[in-house]
Amino acid sequence: MKIDEVGYWSELKLEIIKKYASAYSTILAAQKSALDHHYIDAFAGAGIHLAKRTGEFIPGSPLNALNIVLPFKFHHLIDLDGKRVKNLREMTKNRSDVRVYKGDCNAVLLEKVFPEVRYENYRRALCILDPYELNPNWKVVAKAGEMKSIEIFLNFMVMDMNMNVLWKNPNAVAPAQIERMNRFWWR
Ligand SMILES: C[S@@+](CC[C@H](N)C(=O)[O-])C[C@H]1O[C@@H](n2cnc3c(N)ncnc32)[C@H](O)[C@@H]1O
C-alpha cells in the first residue's frame, strides 16, 4: 500500500478537521433533536500518513475521528483504492460503529450513505470531502444541501483547478478538463 508523505499544510488540515469534528460531535451529542450523528469520510485515504517534517507516522482523518472523546454514533469510510480500503478494514476490525466502503464516493454517498442519515429519521452527519483532485460531483453537494441533515467540509482543490482549468486563455483548456470542472461545479 502506498502511504502518502504529507507536508506541513496537510498536518494543519488534519488538525483543523480533527478540531471541527470534535466540536461537531460534542454539540450534536448534547442535542435532543439529533438522536444519531454520523461521521462520513468520503475520500478516507489509508488511515495513516508519513509526516515529512518529522519522518513519523501520523493518523489520517478517519483515525482522528475514531478517537474523538465524545464519539460519533457511526462512521462511514470510503475510498477508491483497494489496498487502502483493506488497511482501513484491518484498522477498524474491532469497531462495530464503522463501515468501510470501496468505490467511487460520488456513487457510494448517493446510493448507500446519505440514505442512512435522513433528517426525518433524526440523523445528522458531518461529511468530509478531501480529494486530491477535482473528483467530487456537484450532485453530492446539492443532495447534501437538500437533505438538511448533512454538513459538508470540503477541501477545495485549488491547485488542480489553477493548473488545469482556470487558465487566462479559456479557449486553450482541454475539453476533458472543462468537463471535470463542470461536474464539480454545477451539474
Ligand atoms: C487526500 S487523500 C485523503 C486523505 C485523508 N482525508 C486524510 O486526511 O487522512 C484522497 C483519497 O481519495 C481517494 N480517492 C480518489 N478518488 C476517489 C473517489 N472518486 N472516491 C473515493 N475515494 C477516492 C484516494 O485513493 C485517496 O486515498
pLDDT in tens, 80-102: 999 999 999 999 999 999 999 99
Q: Which has the closest alpha carbon to 65: 75, 57, 51, 80?
A: 75
Atom of ligand 1 nearest to the CA of 104: 20
- What pLDDT shows up at residue 19? 98
Q: List % helix, strand, coil for the chain (3-state, nearest 5).
A: 45, 20, 35
Atom of ligand 1 nearest to the CA of 64: 9
Phi–psi pair at 102, nearest 5 degrees: -105, 125
- What pLDDT shows up at residue 129? 97
Ligand 1 mean position to 33 CA, how many Å?
Answer: 32
Which of the four pLDDT bands, split at 50, 70 and 90, describes residue 105? very high
Which pTM value belongs to this model? 0.95
Which of the four pLDDT bands, split at 50, 70 and 90, describes residue 34? low
**What would you report as the CA-atom Rg of the chain, rounded to the nearest whole angstrom?**
17
- What pLDDT shows up at residue 156? 85
Ligand 1 mean position to 18 CA, how many Å?
Answer: 17
Q: Is the pLDDT of residue 32 over 80?
A: no
- The answer to whether 50 and 136 have CB atoms below 8 angstroms apart is no
% pLDDT > 90, the chain:
86
Atom of ligand 1 nearest to the CA of 47: 9
How far is residue 17's CA from residue 12's CA, in Å, rounded to a whole number? 9
Q: Taking residues 32-48, what's their average pLDDT?
A: 92
Q: Which has the closest alpha carbon to 81: 105, 116, 98?
A: 105
* 1 vs 112, more confident: 112
Residue of 1, 18, 20, 79 best suited for mutating to test ligand 1, as the one with most atoms within 8 Å of CB = 79
- What pLDDT shows up at residue 187? 61
% pLDDT > 70, the chain:
99
- What pLDDT shows up at residue 25? 96
User: Which range among 71-75, 108-112, 152-156 shows the weakest confidence by mean pLDDT?
Assistant: 152-156
Mean pLDDT score across all residues of the chain: 95
Pocket (CB within 6 angstroms of ligand 1): 14, 43-45, 60-61, 78-81, 84, 104-105, 130-132, 135
Cα dihedral angle (86, 91, 93, 94), rounded to 10 degrees? Answer: 180
For 141-183, the pLDDT digits (tens) are 999 999 999 999 999 888 899 999 999 999 999 999 999 998 8
* Residue minimizing CA distance to atom 9 of ligand 1: 60
**DSSP per position, 61-120:** HHHHHHT-SS--SEEEEEES-HHHHHHHHHHTTT-TTEEEEES-HHHHIIIIIGGGS-GG
Q: Which has the closest alpha carbon to 17: 64, 53, 50, 57?
A: 64
Q: Enumerate the β-bridge partners of residue 124.
A: 37
Q: Enumerate the β-bridge partners of residue 152.
A: 127
3-class secondary structure, 149: coil
